[in-house]
Amino acid sequence: MATTPPYPGVYIQGIPSGVRAITGVATFITAFVGRALRGPVNTPTTVNSFSDFERTFGGLWISSPMSFAVQDFFLNGGTQATIVRLISPSITSAASLTVDDLPLTAASPGEWGNSLRARIDHNTADDPTGILFNLLVRDGGTGQVEQFRNVSVQTGNPRQVDKVVASSSQLIRVGTLPGARPAASADPPAGGDIWSDTTSAKVQTAGQSSDGNVLTQADFTGTGLSGAKQGLYALENADLFSLLCIAPHAFGTLVETGLMASAASYCESRRAFLIVDPRDWSSANSAAVAMAAPATAVGTASQNAALFFPNIKKANPLHGNAIETFAPCGTVAGVFARTDATRGVWKAPAGLDATLTGVPDLTLTDAENDQLNTLGVNCLRIKAGVGAVLWGSRTLQGSDRLAPEWKYIPVRRLALFLEESLYRGTQWVVLEPNAEPLWGQIRLNVGAFMQDLFRQGAFQGTTPSQAYFVKCDQATTTQSDTNLGIVNIIVGFAPLKPAEFVIIQIQQMAGQVSV
């Protein structure tokens, strides 16, 4: 609006309120890194159900404990996962085939691509120039067929085949385009199979692509992977994840302690939380061996990690529903995500409502649970009337011997939630004039965010002053800080700690006494 009004009248001018809403980040997104049957490699991919995982990564695979962990995650209430598929060796060529002179390559490496077939026909509509054709592709393993109709090899055509395929195909990619429309494949005889050797093209070299070897620590954190954003560090290309699961590389094996240490360190840098599976002392579900193991037996004592014991036993559909042993990380992550959605990240993901789905057999006594809990080991128990539940909520710094600040999982995860939410929600402050008007806006916006959490029951205290504080003024940001371009914001909160021990005192009355 002009400084001097041009004519007599009433002028209305909107004034910015200075309120910028801070949105809490999602705490239920779980990252899984490991081996899968198919799908993009070293590329974080979001799946919102196990059906999504099946379509993109091939579903359950006996060589992929990660696939069973993902299934357990969604079975127990998980809603969103980020999958990073790794393959060893990390560079494995995808299967390729040629239909007439059109080169095709499987969309991702893996033995699955060796069964691809393709064919071409010219049964197109309204094509007076004779440049269009139909491309059909079949996955011999699943029977899935993709059809790309009215496509062309002509550069710049709206239906240019390589671009159409790249945007919509889960099976193939197109190589260098030929100069002319490829010839049609032979038609089958009446009642014949259009996917026979005489009517379709197939991968010519048997075993051209493979599923690779069993993963090792080097495939996750080897030399150069961090800079290349591969392996575990492919998650650098994921905007956000709050939980991390690394299932065993193969059934009957253990994740290397060095890898667990690296994963915990990476979680600390990303403000995420690592779920740790038990070591070899869980092979016999031996609580005695677990109690004797040193705290470093899992490779880390990070405040951003928690250990769960024992392994779970359930039916394996790939082995005729035989009862077998599986790592619990996926199941536990699902309970975390479900609790976050229904109660909030400040609620311990444990107790009678933290039920485990598909876990029929757990054998721990109260005495064993007592000893393990004091060591910071969270137990999976069977409770009468409800079944299998999570029955512990301590971080790897939760041992009674340590007297740690971050003893409990919900306290640590609430702090991580606040850190990430405030980090993202205060980006607007950068390069603003560093003075009291800015500090007032910061107090207003951060305070509104904390007040909303207080109303939801995230903190201790009956009043806001008892529950949290937000400071940003001359006391936190001195003139020296201002000269250096620094603004300091101090946020404190009173966390809710779980009622881990409930003590009921009962006294027998001696009878009525007259006074």
The pLDDT tens digits for 401-429 are 777 889 999 999 999 999 999 999 999 99
What is the rounded distance in angstroms from the CA atom of residue 311 to the CA atom of residue 154? Answer: 57
Delineate the domains of the chain, giving CATH numbers in brackets.
30-88+214-410 (3.40.50.11780), 96-202 (2.60.40.4290), 438-515 (no CATH)
State CA 432 to chain mean position distance. Answer: 35
Q: b vs e for 265-287, b when ≥16 Cβ sit within 10 Å of the residue's Cβ?
A: bbbbebbbbbbbbbbebbeebbb
Tokens of residue 234, six digits: 């492919």
What is the rounded distance in angstroms from the CA atom of residue 36 to the CA atom of residue 211? Answer: 9
| Burial class of 116 by CB neighbour count within 10 A (0 to 12, 13 to 18, 19+) | buried
The pLDDT tens digits for 292-322 are 554 557 889 899 999 998 899 899 999 999 9
The model's pTM: 0.90
Which among 293, 280, 278 is positioned nearest to 379, based on CA atoms?
278
Which among 328, 363, 265 is positioned nearest to 65, based on CA atoms?
328
| Residues in CB range of 378: below 8 A, 6 or more apart | 306, 307, 308, 309, 350, 390, 391, 392, 393, 394, 409
Provide the β-strand partners of residue 135. Answer: 120, 148
Tokens of residue 228, six digits: 């290349």
DSSP symbols for 406-426 = S-BHHHHHHHHHHHHHHHHHT
DSSP symbols for 158-222 = TTBHHHHHHHH-SSEEE-SPPSSPPPPPPPPPTT--TTSTTTSEE-SSTT-S---BPP-HHHHH-
Looking from the CA of 141 toward its CB, the CA atoms found within 13 Å total 13
First-residue to last-residue Cα distance in the chain:
85
| Burial class of 507 by CB neighbour count within 10 A (0 to 12, 13 to 18, 19+) | exposed
Handedness of CA 300, 304, 310, 311 (dihedral sign): negative
What is the rounded distance in angstroms from the CA atom of residue 117 to the CA atom of residue 201? Answer: 5
What is the rounded distance in angstroms from the CA atom of residue 488 to the CA atom of residue 467? Answer: 21
Looking from the CA of 229 toward its CB, the CA atoms found within 13 Å total 7
E strand map for 455-503:
468-471, 490-493
Taking only the tens of pLDDT, the chain with its 515 residues reads 456 788 888 888 887 777 788 999 999 999 999 999 999 999 999 999 999 999 999 999 999 999 999 999 999 999 999 999 999 886 668 999 999 999 999 999 999 999 999 999 998 888 888 899 999 999 998 999 999 999 999 999 999 999 999 999 999 999 999 999 999 999 988 888 999 989 999 997 766 788 989 999 999 999 999 999 999 999 999 999 999 999 999 998 999 999 999 999 999 999 999 999 988 755 555 566 655 554 557 889 899 999 998 899 899 999 999 999 999 999 999 999 999 999 999 999 999 999 999 887 777 778 888 888 888 889 999 888 888 999 999 999 888 777 788 999 999 999 999 999 999 999 999 999 999 999 999 999 999 999 999 999 999 999 999 999 999 999 999 999 999 999 999 999 999 988 756 666 766 776 666 65
Looking from the CA of 128 toward its CB, the CA atoms found within 13 Å total 0
Which among 114, 115, 121 is positioned nearest to 100, based on CA atoms?
121
